[in-house]
Amino acid sequence: MREEAEAKDLWLEVKNVYKTYDGVRFVLNGINMSVPKGAIYGLLGSSGCGKSTLLNSIVGLMQLDAGEIRIPSLGKKDIGFMPQELSLHDTMKTEEVFYYFGTLFEMKKELIEERIAFLTSLLQLPKRKRLLKTFSGGELRRVSLAVSFMHNPKLMILDEPTVGVDPVLRQSIWDHLLKLCNENKMTIIITTHYIEETKQAHIVGLMREGVLLCEESPKSVMTRLGCNSLEEAFLVLSKQQALTGSTNQEENQIKITKFNKVLSPLSKNDKLFSFPRFKAELMKNYFFLSRNIPLLLYLFGLPIVSCLLFNIGIGYEPNNLRFGAVIDDIPFDTLTGCERHLKEINQSCNMDYLSCQYLYEMEKTNLNLKVYDYLDEGLEAIKKNDIWGLAYFPQNFTRNLGLRIEFGKDAGSEAVDNSLVDIYLDRSNRVIDELINLNIRSSFRAFIESLFSRCGWQERASDIPINFKKPIYGILTPTFRDYAAPAIVVVILFSMPLVYGVVIIIEEKNSGTTGRSIAAGVNLLEVLLAHSVIQVSLQAIQTCSTMFMMFYIYEFQFMRPFLSTILLFLQGVTGVSLAFVIAIACDNLPIASACCTFSVISSIVLGGMIWPSQGIHPILKPISIVMPITLPVESLRGLTQRGWGLSYPPVWLGFLTCICWTIFFIFIVYLILRKAKAKAFLSKKIR
């Protein structure tokens, strides 16, 4: 086969190729094409006839349904490809684009500079320091054309390079192409809408509805059909095709099911990994990131802002909670009256007005008391949301409580029953309800302690006989913030790379940048490795800034700093690898965003941030345990709050979880990429 093509001196042969996107209509419908060495091959056809599909299939970015592409003597490095769309990051400068492709093609710096100077003058490119996003459409096409010339390839594949270019420049591009063919024996395949300009080509292929209607020199086709222009010849051939109806869509449908999926030889890379290509990718990612100030602010600012918000917004006790009281056992009907009385009793052992004494302690908490005259009035206030609850002191409360305190176990049941304070609550808000409950109990203890102290009785005898000693781990009075802090740190570091990675990779994919790089020789391993290096570096910075905020500025308990840092870093790497899975598997940004949101929300809900994983429903428990953040959160608690080391199972299980998930995600990425379909998918926007 190879010998056959070489014998004919063909650089490229396309044999009987078929391609359908929807399984119904054939965009390429049995195309045969032969491109001799050193020729300009003009591929002509109306919009949508399949030209770009054919070119993309030739450079290996698309899978064919049947047929064969033969490129016997050329590798990826020998091809210069200019896709129909720009497929370059528009936040890069012209010179950066040149350096990116130059590095990728392993060109020396001097040679790159030489080519920049030459191509800038030939194609009248704008200044090399300008960002692509400031260019007009025509200027962008010229830059795109220039980079495909960059490395003096043997075969140029140009998809509409002259669109939007003024006629004089168009002619000079054609002159240059002819010169390259004549002097350098370069072979060029060029598609264009301007049919007449292909008169200068050595061969024209006229394409319609996925079929090549003819393939011969412009002169020969015009002579054969007796036409004065190529435009006219194309019209005649199109009419003939319409009359014979030679597209045979149904027949082909049957044929194709028998064929295997076909890829161009150019889809293969010479090496699994090349350092210059990796370096070029790294360079491109760096340029992209360094130009994107909002993105940088997001990446470096968000961990800090999240920590700030967490510390400002979460865990502080709600204060000024409105609470009512109805006092039926004493003549004072306002708190002011109570206060006046309390001043009178001063430090004495006074057993009068005990409801007042209790309310006085209650007011010292974060309850904002309001006294009502009647119980109904107070209950109405709860219903109207004026107060969160109400304490009702029945008649003779003071006398009965006094009896209860004085006679203890000998106090009669009447004294016990009538010394109760009735509490009515709006329990619709669990957190506030718990807080009010706590305040009611703690102020009662304070009131009894104060009474015992003033009466010279053993103060401690009034307390419940339970003594909380200094905690073995943790602090004496932990708050919700202490509980949630390790989880929020893990969630931040897991979700940050997730969002960033997915957005960047999908954006690159959809803009065709990845596809163009792949056509130029980069492989997906290099693309992902370059992204990994950038992401892991960002991850390291984000880990340090998050830890600085939480453990240095906000002084959360922090033991085992080294192991904690490693764990958090690994957690971020898990996020990066999950980002790769989502970005490669998902078709578009909204679906990918939904996947990210789901991953983050399920991690927060099931990962032990809001509620301990030990209390999760038995059905969800196994899922919760294997979630990427559940065990790492426990591990971080063990490290920072208990000072445990790697020998403790809760600690090493966290590390193991991160490592296992990372390996699993990388394996999924590998499986997806192994499918040739993914290659076409990655470049689906290259048109």
Ligand X SMILES: Nc1ncnc2c1ncn2[C@@H]1O[C@H](COP(=O)(O)OP(=O)(O)OP(=O)(O)O)[C@@H](O)[C@H]1O
Residues of this chain that interact with ligand X (CB under 6 A) are 21, 27, 45, 47-53, 84, 684, 687
- Phi/psi-derived region of residue 92, left when phi > 0, alpha when psi is between -120 and 50, beta in every other case: beta
In whole angstroms, the minimum distance from the beta carbon of 685 to ligand X comes to 8
In whole angstroms, the minimum distance from the beta carbon of 43 to ligand X comes to 9
In whole angstroms, the minimum distance from the beta carbon of 243 to ligand X comes to 22
Tell me how many helices (H) and strands (E) the chain has.
26, 13
383: three-class secondary structure by DSSP: helix
In whole angstroms, the minimum distance from the beta carbon of 588 to ligand X comes to 13
In whole angstroms, the minimum distance from the beta carbon of 18 to ligand X comes to 13
Cβ closer to ligand X: 48 or 137? 48
Cβ closer to ligand X: 24 or 461? 24
Cβ closer to ligand X: 51 or 284? 51
Laid out side by side, the sheet with 321-327 consists of: 367-372, 321-327, 389-393, 422-425
Cβ closer to ligand X: 421 or 678? 678
Give one DSSP letter per residue of 135-203, joined into a string.
Answer: S-HHHHHHHHHHHHHTT--SEEEEESTTTT--HHHHHHHHHHHHHHHHHH--EEEEEES-GGGGGGSSE
Cβ closer to ligand X: 25 or 340? 25
In whole angstroms, the minimum distance from the beta carbon of 680 to ligand X comes to 9
Residues 86, 105: Cα–Cα separation, whole Å: 19
What amino acid is encoded at 412 in this protein?
G
Cβ closer to ligand X: 83 or 654? 83
Cβ closer to ligand X: 47 or 413? 47
Q: Are strands 187-192 and 40-45 parallel, antiparallel or unpaired?
A: parallel
Cβ closer to ligand X: 84 or 546? 84
Contacts of 355 (CB under 8 A, 6+ apart): 327, 329, 330, 393, 397, 398, 421
Distance of CA 194 to the CA centre of its chain: 42
Cβ closer to ligand X: 84 or 419? 84
At how many degrees (to 10) do helices 109-122 and 94-104 cross?
A: 130
Report whether 144 contacts 86 (CB < 8 A).
Answer: yes
In whole angstroms, the minimum distance from the beta carbon of 554 to ligand X comes to 50
For the chain, how many residues are written? 687
In whole angstroms, the minimum distance from the beta carbon of 611 to ligand X comes to 45
In whole angstroms, the minimum distance from the beta carbon of 302 to ligand X comes to 35
In whole angstroms, the minimum distance from the beta carbon of 592 to ligand X comes to 18
Report whether 364 contacts 445 (CB < 8 A).
Answer: no
Cβ closer to ligand X: 42 or 45? 45
214: three-class secondary structure by DSSP: strand
Contacts of 371 (CB under 8 A, 6+ apart): 324, 325, 326, 327, 333, 334, 335
In whole angstroms, the minimum distance from the beta carbon of 237 to ligand X comes to 16
Count other C-beta atoms under 10 Å from residue 244's C-beta. Answer: 8
Cβ closer to ligand X: 47 or 121? 47
Task: Give the residue from 183, 185, 187 showing the smallest Cα distance to 156.
Answer: 187
Cβ closer to ligand X: 201 or 570? 201
Residues 79, 447: Cα–Cα separation, whole Å: 88
In whole angstroms, the minimum distance from the beta carbon of 215 to ligand X comes to 16
394: three-class secondary structure by DSSP: coil
In whole angstroms, the minimum distance from the beta carbon of 21 to ligand X comes to 3
Cβ closer to ligand X: 144 or 624? 144
Q: Are strands 66-70 and 10-20 parallel, antiparallel or unpaired?
A: antiparallel
* Helix locations, 9-166, DSSP H: 51-58, 94-104, 109-122, 137-149
In whole angstroms, the minimum distance from the beta carbon of 50 to ligand X comes to 4
Alpha-carbon distance values, 186 to 39, 176, 548 (Å): 7, 11, 59
Residues 418, 400: Cα–Cα separation, whole Å: 6
In whole angstroms, the minimum distance from the beta carbon of 46 to ligand X comes to 7
In whole angstroms, the minimum distance from the beta carbon of 137 to ligand X comes to 15
Alpha-carbon distance values, 223 to 41, 229, 232 (Å): 18, 10, 11
Question: 628 burial class (0-12, 13-18, 19+ CB within 10 angstroms)?
Answer: buried
Residues 605, 629: Cα–Cα separation, whole Å: 11
User: ∠ CA(637), CA(642), CA(645), 5° rounding?
Assistant: 90
Cβ closer to ligand X: 5 or 518? 518
Residues 342, 338: Cα–Cα separation, whole Å: 6
What amino acid is encoded at 684 in this protein?
K
Cβ closer to ligand X: 27 or 40? 27
Report whether 289 contacts 96 (CB < 8 A).
Answer: no
Cβ closer to ligand X: 256 or 653? 256
